[in-house]
Structure 1
Amino acid sequence: MLAQRTNLFKSSGTAAAREAAKAAADAGTDTVDLTVGEIWSDLAPTIRNGAIEAIRRGLNRYTDTVGSMELRDALARKVSVETGQLWRADEIAVTSGAKQGLFNVAMTLINPGDQVIVPAPYWTTFPAQVRIAGGMPVHFDTRPNGYVPRVEDIERVITPLTRAIVINTPGNPSGAVYNAETLAGIARLSMERDLWIIFDECYGPFTHDGHRHHQIVSLSPDVRGRTVIVNSFSKSLALTGWRIGYLAAPKELISAVKALQSHTTSNPNVIAQHAVLHHLREGDGAFETRLKDRLAAARQTGLSVLSELQRVPMPGAQGGLYFYLDLSGILQPTLGNGRAKTADDVVAALLAQAGVAGVSGTAFGDPMGIRLSYGIPPEQLEAGLERVVRVLNTWN
């Protein structure tokens, strides 16, 4: 009845976890939702003012398919500052969130049968979009190296069919931040083996404890011609619902993205575009600093609570907004029916016994992990993590 391609994907595991949390809350359960991939925050004043100004001016018509020229110019200047290289508006595409940007990249770069390296654990949408484009995601486990891929591990899985590698730093779900040496090694490998790099840096503004986000194009300028930078304002400005993302890539790829987007969504929401443009012109960085400080404080609160875990190692949480717990130490036994326990069982127990919703690592290709967000209000975070510790310390 349905198209065969629908067999290549299913609903996002993170979305399913959010729905489970909502269902529990709707049923009257006292639920702390640690599934959310967003930051609890008010709007930046510049975003609010920019949106109001756009409405007052009656901005209700189409912009260019990949965003207004004014916004693309502003984003080109932003990326130029961040990478130390000059970018032009024709190398920028504005999209309805980073997720659409990644979909555009998959559909314009990947041929049927191409392989794309996606280190595990991975954000669930990466391999799904590769499959939709007709490609084959290739995974390997990064747990032994603190959730950061080793260059030799990447090289080991490269075949003549390999087309691209996905880099997500800071990582979702792991929170791992790739160091400069690793990124430079990946850049060298991509040049040697003729690979594209899909560089997702949506969590780039949030690094902690001396860790630093590095832009691969800054470290290795020669790789620019085979790199697609994917970013958004969903995390950096707490604008998940506004759906504004962008790509920075070679002009030819942006032209292909524009043609594709003209047949899918056309331009992103014009009010959101104008609000972001107003922020880029008038913002002084104060809102971003407050947001990062709030997230850093929540992280410290969470780590303090999680330090009471007895058989689960402390998460690194080097960047982003998630605690990613390695549950392998408590998942060795099997259930009475002989089925091995996985993170799915832990997530189910947390929701049933403690009213805490998390995301199972099976959604990220890792049946031994669980993702817990610390982007929620601090009082909820502390209460929720205390429940998590209580359940995991008595896990049998």
Structure 2
Amino acid sequence: MLAQRTHLFKSSGTAAARAAAKAAADAGMEIVDLTAGEIWSDLAPTIRDGAIEAIRQGLNRYTDTIGLMGLREALARKVSAETGQTWPAEEIAVTSGAKQALFNVAMTLINPGDQVIIPAPYWTTFPAQIQIAGGTPVHIDTRENGYVPRIDDIQRVITPLTRAIVVNTPGNPSGAVCDAETLMGIGRLAVERDLWIIFDECYEPFTYDCHRHHPLVSLVPEVRARTVIVNSFSKSLALTGWRVGYLAAPKELILAVRALQSHTTSNPNVIAQHAVLHHLLEGDGAFEAQLREQLTAARQAGLAALSQLRCVPIPEAQGGFYFYLDLSGVLRPTLENGHAETSDDIVSVLLSQAGVAGVSGTAFGDPNGLRFSYGIPPELLQAGLERVVRVLNAWN
């Protein structure tokens, strides 16, 4: 009955985890929801003021398909400042969140049969969108290298069909931050082997301790002509529901994205566009600093709570706002019924017995992983992680 492509994908694992948490709460359970990839925060004053002013002006008509020219110019200045290279507005497209930016890239770059290298664990949408475009995801395991891909492992899976490499740093779900040496190796490899780089840096504002985010094209300028930078304001301004993302790429690709987007969503929400533009023009960085302070404090408190774990390593949580646990030390490879135990089992127990919702690593291609968000209010985070520690320490 349905199109064949619907068999290539299913609902997002993170969305399914959120739905399970909501269902448990609706059933009367007291749930601490650590599933969502968002930060609990008020709006930035500049975002609120920009949106209200746009409404007062009655701005309710279409904008350019790929965004207001003023917003694209402001984003071009932002990307230029961050990368140290000049990006004109003609190389910027505004999208309905980073997820649409990635979909646009998949549909305009990937041909049926093309292979795309995706380090695992991975954000669940990466392989799904590649498959929708007719491509084949090729995964490399990063778990033994701190969730950072090895250049040798990437080289090993490159074939004549390889079209692109996905680089996500800081990583979702792992929180790993790619070091400069790794990024330079990936960039040079892309140049040598004529590959595209899909560079997702949506979590770039949030790195901790000695870890720093490095824009790939700053390290390897010659890779700029084959790099697509994907970003959004969902994380950096806590605007997940407003759906404003963007991509920076060579002009030819942006023209293809314009054509594709004209047949899908058309322009992103006009009020959200004006709000973000007002923030980019008038913001002083105070709100972003406040978010970083909030997450830094939550990370420190969360790591202190997780330090009580006895058989599970304490996550490094180098960037983003996730704790990603390696449960391999507490999982049994085979149960009496012959089935292997996975993080799905622990997620179910945490939800039913502790009232804590997390996302199983199976959603990210890792049956031993477990992701918790620490973007929630601190009192809820503390209570939730204390319950997690009790359950995992008693796991038998």
TM-score, length basis structure 1: 1.00
In structure 1, what is the Cα distance between the partners aligned to 2:178 and 2:281?
A: 30
Unaligned runs of 5+ in 2: none
**Counterpart residue type for residue 273 of structure 1:** Q
The answer for the alignment partner of 1:241 in structure 2 is 241
Q: What SS does the aligned partner of 2:112 have?
A: coil
The answer for the alignment partner of 2:59 in structure 1 is 59
The answer for the alignment partner of 2:13 in structure 1 is 13
**Counterpart residue type for residue 145 of structure 1:** N
The answer for the alignment partner of 2:112 in structure 1 is 112
In structure 2, what is the Cα distance between the partners aligned to 1:269 and 1:31?
A: 33
Shift of 1:67: 0.1
In structure 2, what is the Cα distance between the partners aligned to 1:391 and 1:139?
A: 32
Please list, as runs of the form range in 1=range in 2, the aligned pairs for 1:205-284 lying within 5 A after superposition.
205-284=205-284
Shift of 1:338: 1.9
The answer for the alignment partner of 1:78 in structure 2 is 78
1:290 aligns with 2:280: no
In structure 1, what is the Cα distance between the partners aligned to 2:48 and 2:100?
A: 24
**Counterpart residue type for residue 293 of structure 2:** D
In structure 2, what is the Cα distance between the partners aligned to 1:329 and 1:200?
A: 31
Two-structure CA RMSD over aligned residues (Å): 0.5
Shift of 1:333: 4.6
The answer for the alignment partner of 1:155 in structure 2 is 155
Is the alpha carbon distance of 1:194 and 1:333 closer, same or farther for their aligned partners in structure 2, counting shifts above 3 Å? closer
The percent of aligned pairs where both chains have the same amino acid is: 81
Unaligned runs of 5+ in 1: none
Shift of 1:48: 0.1
Q: How many residues get paired?
A: 396
Please list, as runs of the form range in 1=range in 2, the aligned pairs for 1:157-172 lying within 5 A after superposition.
157-172=157-172
Shift of 1:193: 0.7
The answer for the alignment partner of 1:43 in structure 2 is 43
The answer for the alignment partner of 1:91 in structure 2 is 91
**Counterpart residue type for residue 387 of structure 2:** R
The runs of at least 4 consecutive aligned structure 1 residues that moved more than 4 Å come to none
**Counterpart residue type for residue 22 of structure 2:** K
Shift of 1:210: 1.6
What do residues 334-383 of structure 1 show as CA deviations (whole Å, max 9, x unaligned)?
32212110000010010011000000000000000000000000000000
In structure 1, what is the Cα distance between the partners aligned to 2:3 and 2:275?
A: 38
What do residues 205-225 of structure 1 show as CA deviations (whole Å, max 9, x unaligned)?
000012100000011110000
Q: What SS does the aligned partner of 1:186 have?
A: helix
**Counterpart residue type for residue 69 of structure 1:** M
The answer for the alignment partner of 1:352 in structure 2 is 352
The answer for the alignment partner of 2:302 in structure 1 is 302
In structure 2, what is the Cα distance between the partners aligned to 1:140 and 1:283?
A: 40
Shift of 1:47: 0.0
Please list, as runs of the form range in 1=range in 2, the aligned pairs for 1:196-207 lying within 5 A after superposition.
196-207=196-207
In structure 1, what is the Cα distance between the partners aligned to 2:325 and 2:30?
A: 23
In structure 2, what is the Cα distance between the partners aligned to 1:194 and 1:69?
A: 32
Please list, as runs of the form range in 1=range in 2, the aligned pairs for 1:357-376 lying within 5 A after superposition.
357-376=357-376
In structure 2, what is the Cα distance between the partners aligned to 1:310 and 1:269?
A: 48
Shift of 1:332: 2.8
Q: What SS does the aligned partner of 1:119 have?
A: strand
The answer for the alignment partner of 1:140 in structure 2 is 140
In structure 1, what is the Cα distance between the partners aligned to 2:117 and 2:281?
A: 37
Q: What SS does the aligned partner of 2:38 have?
A: coil
In structure 2, what is the Cα distance between the partners aligned to 1:166 and 1:81?
A: 23
The answer for the alignment partner of 1:339 in structure 2 is 339
In structure 2, what is the Cα distance between the partners aligned to 1:98 and 1:183?
A: 21
